Amino acid sequence: MSVRSIPRNELETLESLTPDKIAQILEVALLTTQEPLPISELKKLFNHELSTAVLSKLLYGIREKWADSGIELISVASGWRFQTRPDMQPYLDRLTPPKAPRYSRAVLETLAIIAYRQPVTRGDIEEIRGVSVASTVLKSLSARGWIEAVGHRNVAGKPALFATTSKFLDDLKLRSLEELPPLEEMKSLLDSGENNQNLPLIEPETDKE
Amino acid sequence: MSVRSIPRNELETLESLTPDKIAQILEVALLTTQEPLPISELKKLFNHELSTAVLSKLLYGIREKWADSGIELISVASGWRFQTRPDMQPYLDRLTPPKAPRYSRAVLETLAIIAYRQPVTRGDIEEIRGVSVASTVLKSLSARGWIEAVGHRNVAGKPALFATTSKFLDDLKLRSLEELPPLEEMKSLLDSGENNQNLPLIEPETDKE
Amino acid sequence: MNSVVDSQAIQPVARICGEPLMEIPQDLYIPPDALEVFLDTFQGPLDLLLYLIRKHNLNILDIPMAELTQQYMAYVDMMRIEQLELAAEYLLMTALLIEIKSRMLLPNPKTETEEEHDPRAELVQRLLEYEQMKTAAARLNELPQAERDFTIVQVLIKQEAVAQLPGVSIEDLSQAWLSILARAKVNRHHQIKREALSVRAYMSQVLRDLRECKQLQFYDLFSPQATAAEVVVTFLAILELAKELLLEISQDHDSRIIYVRSIDTAQRA
């Protein structure tokens, strides 16, 4: 049985920690924590005695070290975390059947509208999609921790205003909403009818933004 | 992004997987799973095309590779898993401070009485507290090395006389008992009445810990 | 090229008896058998209209309204049975389309300003916005997604085998003592002076010393390094212990040596 060998109040002071040991501690913290760890959190590991610059340098060093492995250290909205490389997933799926749901178009469209037009009410979403939005759609996105009610619009009924969460960004490996794929300018519907046999369905128009 | 570029049914056959790649897959599976993975489970990663002997050899290789890190690959009854080394614990505790257990009021009061009134018998403590003192209370303080029997009072039953130890002083970072807050100051604090409503523990109690 | 278009191009619109229906027939006629699947394929009237316009290069001006309306009405009839809400939405769309068509057909009163509201404008705007979101949704789905495309590393933190011990601060002790005092209200019996604490500490120490040896010479109880104050306190501690019948002091008649002996018989047993 492992018994605590280092009492908390007798931890080595930072000076006695070698750079290797510091990197090791950082690595272990990142390997054991599922939520991304922001630099502010990582500083706690060293009683706030390490600067952001030093930590960043170490983090990039760790990232480098793992470059050829099956896992990668990445920086997302809420901080740094280790995750598997995409080519590992098919193997992992053999161990545990994929637990992440495949979202229906209704869910995906709702998510897109919330992500790009936030904050929006259910009514706004219905307006854009042209159909009513089932409560289960919003519930499944809330349950995943991807959307949340951030307030209420001050109109009759006080409908909830939905926005995406930082977990949504984290789970999509994004650091901010600006990293979402840019919205495309849609081909005008009024001047179709001419020469569109080959269906350039979503050809971006470069002259407009 | 080429994330979905490997359809599950077109995974490389085992022959095309290099030993390094196989070890990488094993490593990733173990790094992402908290429960121990038995060999039988690890075989699923390779569609049962690898023998127990081969897998064991690879696992020992991975264990070797991680030997100098803050986590270790160990084999427990139900399989293999990565876990943190004990010396990492104090650092990780800084990220999520473990909820410090608290002594009950009975233990704290008993400790206070022994500290201020030593040497005292259990009977003395009971007289002062006005309630009986469970033997578990004295045992837990003895086990902690904070109190000890320094003798016995020469009355019927020869009750043990308890005193605080030097470990008690060390753990509370006191050089001597005189550094404990003087009782008469506390008394006047109490008498002044101004702080009475802030005293959390003044209601009578019948604890029987 | 973007993958959204590609994937949409290869996906069958619907399946009828297992046979993929690769595109909507030109005459817009949907076989009744396929209607249910067909409705599942489209998110709603807006989605269907967008599809028809894009797929068949329909100019919104030239939509064959009679056919389309008939078609929509047929859906509505089918849907009324089970999906009344969706039926209402298709019905609304049909009404809108008819309104647009009729307005286009009516002679345009010259009295209106140049900026006259184009009945198609709002619909076109909605269609475009919906199409934009539809595309965005497909793009979002292409992004690598936690748990689906990658897994987050999580190594077990091996918790200590030893249970963590509660911490106690000096404040905890003061607080505990205060609560005892508060309970006792008048604490006559146990009132202790500041100095008394050190006496009591030395009482413990003398008892410890006597625990080691059966009896000690009086002077052995005083450390050679002791300060004057410590000597006094130790002496007071010995007297207090004698008073509390915890030790016995005796003097040898011949040698005049003073012995201090614990009366603690229990521990020697």
Q: What is the ipTM of this complex?
A: 0.64
Q: Name every chain B residue with its beta carbon within 8 A of the beta carbon of C174.
A: 112, 180-181, 186
Confidence of residue C7 (pLDDT cuts 50, 70, 90): very low
The CA distances from residue A144 to A97, A99, A140, B123, C213, in Å, are 18, 12, 6, 59, 71
Of the residues B32, B73, B92, the best mutation for testing chain A's interface (the one with the most A CB atoms within 10 Å of its CB) is B32
**Which one of A42-51, A98-107, C146-155, C202-211 scores highest in mean pLDDT?**
A42-51
Of A88-97, B180-189, C104-113, minimum mean pLDDT range: C104-113
Q: What is the pLDDT of residue C35?
A: 61
| Residue pLDDT, tens place only, C12-42 | 554 444 455 455 544 454 555 556 666 667 7
| Residue pLDDT, tens place only, A14-56 | 667 888 899 999 999 999 999 999 999 999 999 899 999 999 9
Collapsing DSSP to helix, strand or coil, A203 comes out as coil
| Residue pLDDT, tens place only, C73-100 | 777 777 666 666 777 777 777 777 777 7
3-state secondary structure chain C: CCHHHHHHHHCCCEEECCEEECCCCCCCCCCHHHHHHHHHHCCCHHHHHHHHHHHCCCCCCCCCHHHHHHHHHHHHHHHHHHCHHHHHHHHHHHHHHHHHHHHHHCCCCCCCCCCCCCHHHHHHHHHHHHHHHHHHHHHHHHCCCECCCECECCCECCCCCCCCCCCCCHHHHHHHHHHHHHHHCCCCCCCCCHHHHHHHHHHHHHHHHHHHCCEEEHHHHCCCCCCHHHHHHHHHHHHHHHHCCCEEEEECCCCCCEEEEECCCHHHC
* Cα–chain center distance at B74: 21
Nearest to C151 among A4, A83, A108 (CB): A83
Which H or E run contains A143? helix A135-143
Q: How far is C216 from chain B (nearest CA, A)?
A: 15
Q: What is the pLDDT of residue C124?
A: 82
Q: C136, A118 in Cβ contact below 8 A?
A: no
Collapsing DSSP to helix, strand or coil, B53 comes out as helix
The CA distances from residue C264 to B114, C13, C159, C214, in Å, are 19, 98, 45, 10
Q: Is A193 left (phi over 0), alpha (psi -120 to 50) or beta?
A: left
Q: What is the pLDDT of residue C188?
A: 47
Q: How far is A161 from chain B (nearest CA, A)?
A: 32
Collapsing DSSP to helix, strand or coil, A161 comes out as strand
Q: Name every chain C residue with its beta carbon within 8 A of the beta carbon of A102.
A: 148
Please check whether residue B9 touches A, CB under 8 A.
no
Q: What is the pTM of this model?
A: 0.61
Of the residues A192, A197, A205, the best mutation for testing chain C's interface (the one with the most C CB atoms within 10 Å of its CB) is A192
C-alpha span between A82 and A173 (Å, rounded): 11
Q: A93, A80 in Cβ contact below 8 A?
A: no
The CA R_g of chain B, rounded to the nearest whole Å, is: 30
C-alpha span between C207 and C266 (Å, rounded): 13
Nearest to B4 among C149, C158, C168 (CB): C149
Q: C210, C216 in Cβ contact below 8 A?
A: yes
Q: A128, C129 in Cβ contact below 8 A?
A: yes
CB contact under 8 A, B151 and C210: yes
